[in-house]
Structure 1
């Protein structure tokens, strides 16, 4: 029996664990917490949420390993691999954007700059190492950044201190309010995948 093609979202957040879990640099985790309860009513079956347990700068290895396992075991696949469609969605903090503003980019560094984001750099390093991007034509990348603002100074020590400072309640509220827009983006991506599969 031929199984239906895979059309799926792998939604991963990156940040820092432990005592840095609620800092500005972990805004991706906070956004994932906010969107997760909303997804069931907005997305069709066939998505997975995953939160990186790694430090931000080492996000890639475990994320890519989890993505490989999901592609291999966690989803229904078609016999015709070319008709499958999977999007890796990366939720992350966005230093250059105003607090709570959602910034959506499709693709990797060959499309749009990673803006020095070490977590994203590590992910794409591992995707390339495993020949999953840009080599795998069934895999798309969607980056959803949530703005955390930036300090007045561009000194690297000041920036590091800023991103590793816990979010204040008003900042957490801004990220939580951004969740509905992020879910809209995910719903549009799920619809795009459905169209891709039907036209394959």
Structure 2
């Protein structure tokens, strides 16, 4: 495997929604950052989206393009996000875009892939210089399937046990990233 550089981006929501289940990607990045410093060579950049999740694509792509200009090696865009339906803290890894594995209605991921395709950075996975690694962390699911109940659930703050489970997931994620860069 050729060495790769990583652009590790978390998506979620800012402000009062920062510690909600929908912002589990940000929580994961916060826990992951100190591990990266000690476990990986410095061939990565981290970035937390400052936008609402459903509108994070444009700013993410702007940051990715800026980072690409300073790197000539193959690049992996790593997207850290919440994963509804999976047990709290469970890590789910998917490579590529919707042509490889469903985005499962995740509006943040949909927005990112819309912008990747618009900027011609990702076209059905045919760019060997940019690969995409989606790393979701489970947030569970409410018993009800009603859209209103699901929205209330994902926008509710995580309790202490949920926060700890998401933070513990960082240990396995750092191993996944080490393998991606060829550093393992």
Specify the TM-score bucket, using the shorter chain as the normaliser: over 0.9
Give secondary structure in 1 for the equivalent of 2:132. strand
Equivalent in 136, 145, 154 of residue 145 of structure 1: 136
| Counterparts of residues 59-98 of structure 1 (less than 5 Å) | 59-73=56-70, 75=71, 77=72, 84-98=73-87
Q: Is the 1:59–1:122 contact (alpha carbons within 8 Å) kept by the matching residues of 2?
A: yes
Question: What is the CA deviation profile of residues 8-33 of structure 1, one whole-angstrom value per residue up to 9, with x for unaligned ones?
Answer: 00000000000000000000000000
Unaligned runs of 5+ residues in structure 1 are 78-83, 196-200
TM-score by length of 2: 0.95
Cα distance, 1:137 vs. partner?
A: 2.4
Mapped to 2, the partners of 1:41 and 1:17 lie a distance apart of 28
TM-score by length of 1: 0.87
Give secondary structure in 2 for the equivalent of 1:122. helix
Confirm or deny that 1:177 pairs with 2:168: yes
Question: What is the CA deviation profile of residues 57-114 of structure 1, one whole-angstrom value per residue up to 9, with x for unaligned ones?
Answer: 00100000100000013x3x2xxxxxx3100000000002100000000000000000
Number of residue pairs matched by the alignment: 181
Mapped to 1, the partners of 2:29 and 2:13 lie a distance apart of 13
1:33 match: 30
Q: After TM superposition, where is structure 1 displaced by more than 2 Å over at least 4 residues in a row? A: 134-137
Cα distance, 1:168 vs. partner?
A: 0.4
Q: Is the 1:6–1:86 contact (alpha carbons within 8 Å) kept by the matching residues of 2?
A: no
Cα distance, 1:45 vs. partner?
A: 1.8
Supply the RMSD in Å over aligned alpha carbons.
1.5
2:111 match: 122
Task: Give 1 or 2 for the bigger CA radius of gyration.
Answer: 1
Give secondary structure in 1 for the equivalent of 2:82. strand
Cα distance, 1:44 vs. partner?
A: 1.5
Unaligned runs of 5+ residues in structure 2 are none
Mapped to 1, the partners of 2:162 and 2:85 lie a distance apart of 15
